Chain A
Amino acid sequence: MKIITAHARLGCALLALLGFASPAAAERLKLVVSGASFRPFPVGAPAAVSSDGDVSTKALRELTQALHGGVELVRGLELLPPKSYVAPADEPWTKPNYKNWVNVGASGLIRLAASPQGDKLEVGCRFYDVVAQRELLYKTFTVPSASPDVGAHQCVDAVVKQLTGEEGILSSRVVYIKKTKGGKAVFMSDLFGGNIRRLTPADQLSLLPSWDPTGKFVMFTSYLKENPDLYRLNLQTEKLEWLSKKRGLNTGAAVSPDGKKIALTLSVDGNTEIYVMDWDGNNLKRLTDSWGQDVSATWSPDGKRIAFVSSRSGQPHIYLMNADGTNQRRLTFQGNYNQEPNWSPRPDGQIAFTARDEHLMYDIFLVHPDTGEITRLTQDEGQRNESPSFSPDGQHILFTSNRAPGKGRKLYIMDVDGRNQRRISKIGGDVETPRWGPRAGW
């Protein structure tokens, strides 16, 4: 139909052009082309080089590996197999032969070069559009010599920003709970398990960490003062604040997208209910009031609704309500044990949650907040696939799984449609309740 339309327009234009124009007048035709095919951006990413000659082979290898790993993880990019490259290995990183890259099917080319800067490493990042034959990006990143991978990830993020206008996700961080000798502690690391930092004492029990939208604060529940209270840690100043210390359980803090409100779970009257309060802890307001357990609040991207878990129907299911607590309704009706909802940050995003089936297998599902339609994302991969957490761009889901041989649950990542499930870090031990942090805040 579109072709017919195009041809019709073409016909009119041709009549004007061919028959009835004065010979001297040049004509311009108009064509409409539609129906593009969409695909990831195919890029070549040859090995990182040393621009100074003083960078160790190990650092260059780490840079290259991090570059490849990052490109493979980003949904909008496709890494062309390095074995298919026809460009010579010593091709100058500032003057690539575009034809060599077009011939192997590349549309873009990412080149990395490193040079030492004192005790740090300067990573140069160049991004070329090899079809248009022009350089689109040149940036340098100064990173610790021990962590060259950070430079590679920052480079890929810059490429994604240049390509799509959106911030990349590779430089974001995650927080999670890991068992320690004396209890459980909150840890923070980059997405790939590097730069690990313990945030709470190892000999205490800390639970359910979460982020604020700026990435500057981490909230968690801890028994630091005997009672399970809610704390807020400023990552820059390392100042710890007592956010909620009501009698009973103070947990499940979820900051609204505008950063002004905090939804949390309290059991001040003996039964767990969802409350909301201001960022500074004032104006506490109860949102739910049922005989069942109401826990695990998560905000919609527009901040107008809250999804939560309630056992008011007898078994835990996902429920929805307005941000002021009105219009509470049940969202899931399948299964008998649905928990840990996490709402996608995308405007049209769905809610990921964990469900346990009749065989006591835990898997990740998606539920549409308006239609209630459910999509299964994990199946037959280990017994426990739990705690989904959306990436800042809503394109990926971080979760824990015990599918790998060995003890404990590890961090995994998958596309939002359930594809490309892979382990992303080598973090040892048993990892629980990870939360993917925002891109800002480093």
Chain B
Amino acid sequence: MSSSLRPKIPRSLWRLLIVSAVLHVLVFASVAVAGMFRDVTPAPPVKYIPTKLVKLGKKQPKHLLPKVDRQPPPPPKPDVKVAKAAPEAPKTTSTPKPAVPSALERAKEETRVTSALDRLKKIGKTDPVGDPDGVEDGEVSDAAKAIIGQKYITEIYKCMKSHYTIEGIDPSKVRNREATVYVRVQPNGQLYGEKILRSSGLPAFDRAVERSIKRCGKVSPPPAEIRNLDGLEIVFQP
């Protein structure tokens, strides 16, 4: 009964199945063998372009440059005789200086760098902006000075911009004109002593500029970081 109900598989299909099974076995076997004998050499290293962060502008005097803490070079191997191996090294009578610092110097340098790093870490963790009350001889970094200065000058700019009004003159009359005015900032922030450095050629425009400065009047006292500020040359364009 069971044999009569089971669907008959044709002989050709049986052959096909057997061939397929054999092929699968062969494929798996070849993959396994290839895995056993595969090349274990590492991939060639990726080439990186070495870069260096530099400051643009004029080269600074050495004494103004920040001190660079260099990692001490590795200790010399006693059996390396580079000088002797060099075929055309000039012979000198004087004692050559050692190419690497002595062990004592290396130890000192390491200690110094380590302690400096420790100090920096400590400051970074506990007091990233310095003493909140400030210190008498504290100093502000150039970047911080620039930010403070920029903020202050932006305040002056905004004040000028918001009061910059040209009254009674047709816009076509002042097209392509500009007036340059010298403005001094008093310690209390009062803008004063303005004078026209370069006239627009139209007295009415020059006077409108002067009125705008007068209307601006006063800004915050200049911060100590830009106490060198002698004055501002403001170019007014319509």
Contacts and interface: CB of A to CB of B under 8 A. Distances in A.
Interface of A: 3, 6-7, 10-11, 14-15, 17-21, 23, 25-42, 76-77, 107, 129, 131-132, 136, 163-165, 348
Interface in B32-75: 57-58, 60
A15 B153 CA distance: 13
Contact of B233 (A18, A25, A30, A36): A30
Nearest to B148: A18
B144 to A, nearest CB: 9
Contacts of B169: 38, 76, 163-164
A31 B157 contact: yes
Interface residue SS majority, chain A: mixed
B202 interface: yes
A31 B142 contact: no
B230 A27 contact: yes
B168 A41 contact: yes
Contacts, number: 135
Contact of A17 (B173, B182, B226): B226
Interface residues of B, number: 48
Contacts of A15: 57, 142, 146
B231 A36 contact: no
Contacts of B215: 131
Contacts of A132: 207, 210-211, 214
Contact of A34 (B58, B60, B236): B236
A40 B167 contact: yes
B228 interface: yes
B167 A42 contact: yes
A14 B156 contact: no
19 contacts: A3-B157, A7-B154, A14-B146, A14-B226, A17-B228, A27-B230, A29-B231, A30-B234, A31-B160, A32-B237, A34-B236, A34-B237, A35-B161, A39-B165, A131-B211, A132-B211, A132-B214, A164-B169, A164-B173
Interface string B139-169: 0001001100110011011001100111111
B112 to A, nearest CB: 27
Interface of B: 57-58, 60, 142, 145-146, 149-150, 153-154, 156-157, 160-161, 164-173, 182, 202-204, 207-208, 210-212, 214-215, 225-226, 228-238
A26 B235 contact: no
Which of B161, B231, B234, B236 has the largest count of A CB atoms less than 10 A from its CB? Answer: B161
B166 A18 contact: no
Given A7-B150, A25-B228, A28-B230, 14 more contacts: A18-B145, A29-B231, A30-B233, A32-B237, A33-B161, A35-B161, A37-B164, A38-B165, A38-B171, A40-B167, A42-B167, A131-B211, A132-B207, A348-B172
Across the A-B interface, give the 9 residue pairs with the lowest CB-CB distance, nearest first.
A41-B168, A26-B230, A19-B142, A76-B168, A34-B237, A18-B145, A41-B167, A131-B211, A30-B233
A399 B37 CA distance: 105
Contacts of B150: 7, 10-11, 14
Contacts of A19: 142, 145-146
B238 A29 contact: no
A76 to B, nearest CB: 4
A36 B235 contact: no
B25 to A, nearest CB: 71
Contact of B164 (A36, A107, A164): A36
